[in-house]
Structure 1
Amino acid sequence: MSLAGKVVLVTGAGQGIGRAIALRLARDGADIALVDINAQKIEQVAAEIVALGRRSTTFVADVSKLDQVTAAVDHTEAQLGGFDIIVNNAGIAQIAPLLEVTPQEVERVMNINVQGVIWGIQAAGKKLKGRNKPGKIINACSIAGHEGFALLGVYSATKFAVRGLTQAAAKELASFGITVNSYCPGVVGTDMWVEIDKRMAEFTGAELGATYKQYVDGIALGRAQTPEDVAGFVSYLAGPDADYMTGQSPMIDGGLVYR
């Protein structure tokens, strides 16, 4: 188990990709701190992790709030006896034409998708520096961080921002032995894509499911992505085989966007 003895904090860990990441890293041997705004969901995931023979702790937090993210990192160290890796996975989608998006919508998605990553980098970076140990910061990006998508303009902007933050943080933290990378999923069969499909249908008049099918039909490997597909790549980023990798945001999308 490549992560034996490591302590990992995963945000947005109550469902979907975050849950899959937490469970995969637990199977890899890590002890896992679960952070989410939904207490019930992370308690359920914690029980699954304990059933795998690993330790787990939970912390309810809004990742857009620096003090709450810092408290989550401190809680992780106190409860699990260490701190090695953070996965800044929490995020939300935002679907609207750029000519119609409201200030409130922009503020909400920026606060969670961009500030949430900044505060995760800051809190984890300070903790790792204070422990004087190498560590890893792993951020949730997207294929929308490599290509802007219609009706996902603001969301795409947040993910382009995550790529920039990943590169800047990698340069700032490399001398402390801290690597910073991102993962860029494509069309993942989660509740987020159910909401994206529904909202796009409202703007385009397409039938429910049609937008999702259109995107999936464009995937070279011929199927939608699963949360476990993403978790497998995050496992690589968290493990020792990625120790010489930093500042990168690779796509794992089954062949949809090519760079």
Structure 2
Amino acid sequence: MASKNTAIVTGAAGGIGKEIALRLADDGFNVVVNDISAKSEDLGRLVEEITAKGTASSYHIADVSLEDDVRGMVETAVNQYGRLDVMVANAGVAGYIPLFEMTTDQWDRIMNINARGVFLCYKYAGLQMIKQGHGGRIIGASSILGKKGSPFNYAYTASKFAVRGLTQAAALEFGPHEITVNAIAPGAIDTEMLADIMPAGTPRGVLIDAVKRESPLNVVGTPTDIANLISFIASKESQFITGQTISINGGTYFD
């Protein structure tokens, strides 16, 4: 893809999403960053970081679980930059809750953001890319828990399995339009969300040590590791990869 194409990154106010947005800016994309209104100040600072790199950026407040919000986000990006070439449906939440204690509201919140949100991003990015007629890249956020279930992370696990299915189905439908659809399946990554998939109150050092022991490399992943993979999937060089959910987990789980 030529430089100055446009990418949208959801859930970009911090952690993995922020690092993805910065990396795509380095790759020459105009970058539209998204998150919820409570994180607008973080988004504003991120836009400043991106524009300091010499590429255009703006932020768009939207709840990815709401169809009108996602439709509006895509329309605004296209009105401002003229096109959409990459959609990174990264926004997600987690919750470590025993099955018998999980409420339907807790279940719905996680599923709506993690699964419905990805579906809506795929839908409206796909519609725009087909309209443009020159292909594109759509990327979703699954997880190692989308390949191997985890106790006490029931809704999160189910939502990330759902992303894999959405990705395969969309890849088949969008392929004739030269749009690739893939997902990533990170293992444990050193972000604030790491605490949300472990027992409440677990000291951070204990979390990190436990994660390292699971990896033959004795390492914990970083947002940069994920951004490196996204950079490749978003590139022209990834044109023969579609329908995949790509593991990136330091060897803690082998496909």
Asked if TM exceeds 0.5, the reply is yes
- The 5 Å alignment of 1:217-236 reads 217-236=213-232
CA distance in 2, matches of 1:249, 1:230: 13
Moved over 2 A (4+): 194-197, 206-213
CA distance in 2, matches of 1:168, 1:186: 23
CA distance in 2, matches of 1:196, 1:242: 31
Q: Which amino acid aligns with 2:247?
A: M
Q: 1:213 offset after TM fit, Å?
A: 2.4
Contact 2:181–2:243 (CA under 8 A) maintained in structure 1: yes
Contact 1:98–1:154 (CA under 8 A) maintained in structure 2: no
Structure 2 residue aligned with 1:246: 242
SS in 1 for 2:87: strand
Q: 1:59 offset after TM fit, Å?
A: 0.5
Contact 1:187–1:216 (CA under 8 A) maintained in structure 2: no
Structure 1 residue aligned with 2:101: 100
Q: 1:215 offset after TM fit, Å?
A: 2.3
Q: Does 1:8 align with 2:7?
A: yes
- The 5 Å alignment of 1:139-150 reads 139-150=140-151
**Structure 1 runs not aligned, ≥5 long:** none
Q: 1:211 offset after TM fit, Å?
A: 4.1
Q: 1:99 offset after TM fit, Å?
A: 2.1
CA distance in 2, matches of 1:77, 1:131: 10
Q: 1:83 offset after TM fit, Å?
A: 0.9
SS in 2 for 1:250: strand
Q: Which amino acid aligns with 2:219?
A: R
Contact 2:62–2:73 (CA under 8 A) maintained in structure 1: yes
Name which of 250, 253, 256 aligns with 2:252: 256
CA distance in 2, matches of 1:109, 1:187: 18
CA distance in 1, matches of 2:17, 2:56: 17
Query: What do the CA deviations read for 1:117-142 (whole angstroms, capped 9, x no partner)?
Result: 00001110111111122011100111
Tell me the number of residue pairs that the alignment of Structure 1 and Structure 2 aligns.
253
CA distance in 2, matches of 1:222, 1:22: 27
Q: Does 1:87 align with 2:88?
A: yes
- The 5 Å alignment of 1:28-177 reads 28-37=27-36, 38-177=39-178
Structure 2 residue aligned with 1:22: 21
Q: 1:3 offset after TM fit, Å?
A: 5.6
CA distance in 2, matches of 1:34, 1:232: 18
Q: 1:222 offset after TM fit, Å?
A: 1.3
Q: 1:12 offset after TM fit, Å?
A: 0.4
Structure 2 residue aligned with 1:213: 209
- Go from structure 1 to structure 2 and tell me whether the alpha carbon gap of 1:3 and 1:194 turns closer, same or farther (over 3 Å shift): farther
Taking structure 1 as the reference length, what is the TM-score of the superposition? 0.94
Q: 1:113 offset after TM fit, Å?
A: 0.2
CA RMSD of aligned residues (A): 1.4
SS in 2 for 1:99: helix
Contact 2:95–2:196 (CA under 8 A) maintained in structure 1: no
Q: 1:201 offset after TM fit, Å?
A: 4.1
CA distance in 2, matches of 1:113, 1:119: 10
Q: Which amino acid aligns with 1:34?
A: V
Taking structure 2 as the reference length, what is the TM-score of the superposition? 0.95
Contact 2:35–2:61 (CA under 8 A) maintained in structure 1: yes
Q: Which amino acid aligns with 1:135?
A: G
Q: Which amino acid aligns with 1:26?
A: A
The share of aligned pairs that are identical, in percent, is 38
SS in 2 for 1:246: coil
Q: Which amino acid aligns with 1:224?
A: V
CA distance in 1, matches of 2:134, 2:214: 43
- Pick which of 58-67 and 214-223 moved more: 214-223
Q: Does 1:194 align with 2:190?
A: no
CA distance in 2, matches of 1:226, 1:76: 28
**Structure 2 runs not aligned, ≥5 long:** none
Contact 1:139–1:162 (CA under 8 A) maintained in structure 2: yes
Contact 1:3–1:239 (CA under 8 A) maintained in structure 2: no
